[in-house]
Structure 1
Amino acid sequence: IAIGRPRFPKWRRQRFAGNPRSGQADAALVAAATGFPANIDWGRRPVAQLVTNLGGMKAVGGNDLQLLYEYDDTVESLCRDIGDARDHVHLLVYIFADDEVGTQVVEALGRAAGRGVSCRVMIDALGSRPWRSRVIAAMQARGIDAREVLPVRPLRWRPARADLRNHRKLTIIDGQIGYIGSQNIVAANFRPGIRNQELVARATGPIVAQLQSVFLSDWYLETEQQLAGDALFPAARQGGDVPLQLPSGPDYPVSGSERLTVELIYGARERVVITTPYFIPDEGLIEAIQSAVLRGVDVRLIVSLVQDQLLVGLAQRSFYAEMLRAGVRLFLYEDRLLHAKHITVDDDLATVGSSNVDIRSFTLNAEANLVIYAPGEVRRIRAVEERYFAGSRELTPEDWAGRPFMRKIAENLARLISPLL
């Protein structure tokens, strides 16, 4: 009764089965894949096939990608694009606060709605709990169609599980610009004494149809409204030459984030860098990491020394000794809470998105991750990783073995409940 299965209620699964994606979305995705085939190296095609089977969307070429790693720059870019919107703005986010950042975005959306732009926003009911009533009221007062995602109302008909959340961070503007990454609509220092460090990708090109498809499917699951119109899926235009793919879809029965992460590590030839704020791996991921090191792959894990969740932090640290014994190089980012979530593999493959490397993201949350098959873009992410390394302290087995005995006890006790965190 307290924990249950990692599945949505029966009514929601039936709703998804009845309409996971509209015919218009399917036609747009086929047209994008046909008109802009992805030029993917032969050795990475198994990854692309796995991603296709996980989310039902093929890799597409002809995209442009901009990486945003400065918090304020991301907010300014988003508000600027909203300011240029002509038909619609779709925004899905886990945390939407009514602080200065949230107010800035709400005002940009309100001005767009005042111009006749259709603005639709979904915020996770639990992630945005402290602010959701005020935020939704403020948006609705400005003509924005704002909805709670997965409201937790146990005494009402069709309740939602409190532990199954929509953790995606997506924005689609006029079907032509898309944002995906780790950053919520909240101030970087919304937790006292902690400032977040994020990574967001701004994309243009055929990949935006895939982001739109995920948003529209989630919108249908929450509202039972089937949105349609030519402006939702305008004819795809080439933005650049970057092959991209989205493995994420709503309520799919197979855990896309976990299988993709494991496959990426098994496919590594020289180097893997995993950046995540929360690291609670399962046995399959641990074995993949150990096997990579045994193959001679340089495996590096970047996690945050700054922690915002006590139990999660303790459980996470209980895996450090195991990683160090396996030969993983472990870096503790010291300055901020490193909330960015991305993986680079060798010099030609990367993912950026909302999924942590933990059991919750693998089995309970709805996530959105972008797979990047472009050496040039991977080099840019590697440059971001170098900044992390410069701001980190590398943990050694000797240092870790010398921590206090009572801390070891607390970490191992937290590990016992790690699948529930």
Structure 2
Amino acid sequence: MVSIMCILPIIGIILCIFIKKYYFKKKQFKLAKKIWSKANIWLTNFKSFDDIFEKKNSKVASALFQLCKHRQGLLGIKCNKLTLLTNFTETINTLIHDIYLAKNNIEIVFYIWKPGGLADDVANALILSAKRGIYCRLMLDSSGSTDFFRSKWVNIMKNSGIQIVEALKINILRIFIDRIDLRQHKKIILIDNHITYTGSMNLVDPSLFKKSAGVGQWIDLMIRIEGPIAGTIGIIYSYDWEMETGKQILPKIPNKYKINLNTLIKNNSIQVITSGPYFPKDTIHKALLTAIYSATKELIITTPYLVPSNDLFYAICTAAQKGISVSIIIPRYNDSIFVKWASRSFYSELLEAGVKIYLFEKGLLHTKSILIDHQLSLVGTVNLDMRSIWLNFEITLVIDNNQFGKNLASIQYEYINNSTLLDKRLWSIRSYWNRILENLFYCLNPLL
């Protein structure tokens, strides 16, 4: 008993270090305020392009777009082209093609960049583009991209003219002033302020990544967009860049854009939602809740990590109890044993509410997506866990478009076809020790 009492304070100190709120220094507050004042001038100019905004939304999307409008000050934005990419090789080849065609600038942020395989082809494409005079900026998370920062590529790319920033740099002294587990989790590629990519994919060749983990290849989803939405994503990128470096890189003023109004997709509306200590609090959480409560027919969720807040958990259960078809697709095998067991603690109540839980068998399903009534889609970097919802720098796209919804549905149904439906009866007779582990890891969910 004495030894346990001695250990508990130590555990408490460790937990406090990891779950305390992010600390903002006065200098950071001043810089953040300064950046927002400049960004607001840019956005005011951007709003003058009346034709690029979609003033009407579908019934299922209207509540969420109203939330975004009041929280972020913008209506949904039309786009010229919207493409879903599910194959890694196809995504990389498309990206490299766009990089070689770039005329002015390329901005990139990733949580993980791991050298090797096709990731090196992207590095070489960036190097050649920088050498021909394209402004190239690369921002990578310090923790996620450790292998990159220890590799030869840092000096090679810098010597070619590429600017590289190690975001949220790991430093033992940070333990005493802020959360050391705060991470830059966005995945964004911007080319010429016109083409943008985002989604769940890191710059990692899945055939080489975490092979020893025994979870199979990672399965991801990316979106490629052409059009003025790149401007608002550019503002987000410039904000993160300036907070890390102190250097301003606002996108070009909108009146210099060559927006092809004739090719803007009709009945198509996109919002960008981002999160992190510098951005409006709880927007992603409120957006997820609003989207789920808007469902009337079908709700499909894919997430690699299922540790939702109480509010989101009850919203999902309520949807199923209203008679809405609710499906959650998660990987059977996970790279995190903590998340695996914590996720399992939610299964019983979800199954009891009528939620269908599918365990994906063909690798680690890393796609983060929510589809409501085949019309409203949320796709991005946000996992359904506490870290993504409350802590990390994240981004998600909200898309109100029927054809895009149908395309996303076909991908999700393919995931379901490669999954096993969790049997409610068999789950109810799992071992007593499994239940203990589930509850134990559930208590640690603020760390997950």
Counterparts in 2 of 1:416 and 1:112: CA distance versus 1, 3 Å:
same
Equivalent in 181, 184, 190 of residue 202 of structure 2: 184
Counterparts in 2 of 1:398 and 1:46: CA distance versus 1, 3 Å:
same
Moved over 6 A (4+): 156-159
Q: Is the 8 A contact 1:171 1:178 kept in 2?
A: yes
Secondary structure, counterpart of 2:61 in structure 1: helix
Distance in 2, Cα, partners of 1:246 & 1:93: 17
Of 200-209 and 30-39, deviating more is 30-39
Secondary structure, counterpart of 1:414 in structure 2: helix
Amino acid paired to 2:186? R
Deviations along 1:107-137, whole A, 9 cap, x unmatched? 1100100110000010011111233232433
Which 5+ residue runs of structure 2 have no aligned equivalent?
Answer: 1-15
Q: Is the 8 A contact 2:174 2:180 kept in 1?
A: no
Distance in 2, Cα, partners of 1:157 & 1:340: 31
Distance in 2, Cα, partners of 1:82 & 1:285: 39
Aligned-CA RMSD value: 2.1
Counterparts in 2 of 1:168 and 1:55: CA distance versus 1, 3 Å:
farther
Distance in 2, Cα, partners of 1:55 & 1:231: 19
Q: Where does 1:1-12 land on structure 2 (aligned, <5 Å)? A: 1-10=16-25, 11-12=27-28
Deviation at 1:262, TM superposition (A): 0.9
Partner in structure 2 of residue 133 of structure 1: 150
Of 26-35 and 202-211, deviating more is 26-35
Amino acid paired to 2:149? R
TM-score, length basis structure 1 = 0.94
Amino acid paired to 1:18? K
Amino acid paired to 2:169? P
Of 327-336 and 399-408, deviating more is 399-408
Deviation at 1:327, TM superposition (A): 0.9
Deviation at 1:43, TM superposition (A): 4.8
Partner in structure 2 of residue 218 of structure 1: 240
Counterparts in 2 of 1:282 and 1:174: CA distance versus 1, 3 Å:
same
Distance in 2, Cα, partners of 1:28 & 1:340: 35
Partner in structure 1 of residue 293 of structure 2: 266
Amino acid paired to 1:345? I
Of 202-211 and 241-250, deviating more is 241-250
Q: Where does 1:259-408 land on structure 2 (aligned, <5 Å)? A: 259-408=286-435
Secondary structure, counterpart of 1:246 in structure 2: strand
Partner in structure 2 of residue 234 of structure 1: 257
Of 396-405 and 103-112, deviating more is 396-405
TM-score, length basis structure 2 = 0.89
Secondary structure, counterpart of 1:161 in structure 2: coil
Larger Rg: 2
Q: Where does 1:183-202 land on structure 2 (aligned, <5 Å)? A: 183-189=201-207, 190-192=209-211, 193=214, 194-202=216-224
Distance in 2, Cα, partners of 1:237 & 1:28: 18
Which 5+ residue runs of structure 1 have no aligned equivalent?
Answer: none
Deviation at 1:32, TM superposition (A): 4.4
Counterparts in 2 of 1:313 and 1:61: CA distance versus 1, 3 Å:
same
Distance in 2, Cα, partners of 1:349 & 1:369: 13
Of 385-394 and 232-241, deviating more is 232-241
Deviation at 1:40, TM superposition (A): 1.4
Of 284-293 and 83-92, deviating more is 284-293
Distance in 2, Cα, partners of 1:62 & 1:362: 27
Q: Is the 8 A contact 2:275 2:281 kept in 1?
A: no
Equivalent in 219, 230, 241 of residue 208 of structure 1: 230
Deviations along 1:292-331, whole A, 9 cap, x unmatched? 1222111110101121011111111111112111110110
Distance in 1, Cα, partners of 2:59 & 2:430: 46
Q: Is the 8 A contact 1:38 1:61 kept in 2?
A: no
Aligned identity (percent) is 29
- Is 1:170 the equivalent of 2:178? no
Counterparts in 2 of 1:195 and 1:346: CA distance versus 1, 3 Å:
same
Of 319-328 and 37-46, deviating more is 37-46
Distance in 1, Cα, partners of 2:81 & 2:428: 46
Counterparts in 2 of 1:138 and 1:321: CA distance versus 1, 3 Å:
farther
Secondary structure, counterpart of 2:78 in structure 1: strand
Deviations along 1:27-65, whole A, 9 cap, x unmatched? 453134554334412553221011233444321124321
Equivalent in 268, 271, 276 of residue 245 of structure 1: 271
Deviation at 1:228, TM superposition (A): 4.5
Equivalent in 110, 125, 129 of residue 93 of structure 1: 110
The count of corresponding residues between Structure 1 and Structure 2 is 421
Secondary structure, counterpart of 2:407 in structure 1: helix
Distance in 1, Cα, partners of 2:166 & 2:92: 22
